[in-house]
Amino acid sequence: MQTEGIKVSDELSKLPPQVQERFLRLQQLQQTLQSVLAQKQQVDMEQNEVEQTLAELQKTADDAVIYKGIGSLLVKAEKAKVTEELVERKELLTTRSTVLAKQEERLRSQVKEVQTKLQEDLSQVSPPSP
Amino acid sequence: MASRSREEEELRRLSVQLRLMEQTAETLQSRIGMLNAAITDLTYANMTLDGVEKEKENSELLVPIGGSSYVRVKLAEPDKVVVGLGAGVSVEKPLSEAKALLKERLDELTKSMQAAQQQFTQVAERINADRNRLESLLAAVRQGKTSGDV
């Protein structure tokens, strides 16, 4: 894997500085996109879990004995209070998910743009095929 | 000449496709592992509830606290169980309801597990087929290059 990395950077150093810079920019953008995607997946999963818990809570009687996890402890709580907290958490997660979706969209278009420019650069740099 | 470049193009396409499918297989494998762990956990919980159901009030029990250590407790209410709903919220339920809920979750997980295993088998089959095609293409390209050199 390391030798492959060395080979790639060797190849990269033969390219004009402007193309090298664009290549690194593309890598950076792709890494940021991956990180945003991972964050969004995490937030969406959490949101899904909160929604399912809210649905289950709705099915339980109002006087049901509810517990809230605090660390490794379970503490008795009121259904109404727990529901309120979960609704608030759901709203927060929805907002975070929307923000991350916008970031994802922006990053995808930036990646596409840099990829197109890089392809143009490389077609000018690479020798004509025989 | 054109056929060689076609083969090289297919080689490139196949190797990218293989890499992607290998990633998918890895993801599926880790999903299967997680599902397996969850199924074992739920099966264990179900077995415990089956055991508790047979016990009377104030029965003496040893509750594991980790590190192969136990604390001695008395069963206060054998018919009441606290079940997690997710998102850090748990609810007290009659034992029979808790068992039904766990059974429902176990069934869902088993279905997901079967689906994931099926997907994994399909991906593994495609990986094998693509590997074979890749190897024969590589051999063809190498042969073409050698005869071209002569």
- The kind and range of the H/E element at A56 are helix A17-59
- For chain B, what are the domain ranges? 2-55+93-149
Pick the CATH number of A2-124 from 3.30.420.40, 3.40.30.10, 3.40.50.2000, 1.10.287.370: 1.10.287.370
CA-based nearest distance B142→chain A, Å? 19
pLDDT tens readout for residues A12-54 = 787 888 899 999 999 999 999 999 999 999 999 999 999 999 9
Distance of alpha carbon B8 from alpha carbon B140, whole angstroms: 10
Judge contact between B30 and B23, C-beta under 8 A.
no
Distance CA A73, CA A37 (A): 32
Residue-range domain boundaries for chain A: 2-124
Do A86 and B89 count as a contact with CB atoms less than 8 A apart?
yes
CB within 8 A of B132, min separation 6: which ones?
none
Contact B88/A at CB under 8 A: yes
Q: Do B82 and A74 touch (CB under 8 A)?
A: yes
- Taking the CA of residue B83 and the nearest CA in chain A, the distance in Å comes to 9
Q: Please list the pLDDT of chain B residue by residue as tens digits (150 residues).
A: 567 678 888 888 999 999 999 999 999 999 999 999 999 999 999 999 999 999 999 999 999 999 999 999 999 999 999 999 999 999 999 999 999 999 999 999 999 999 999 999 999 999 999 999 999 988 888 887 766 554
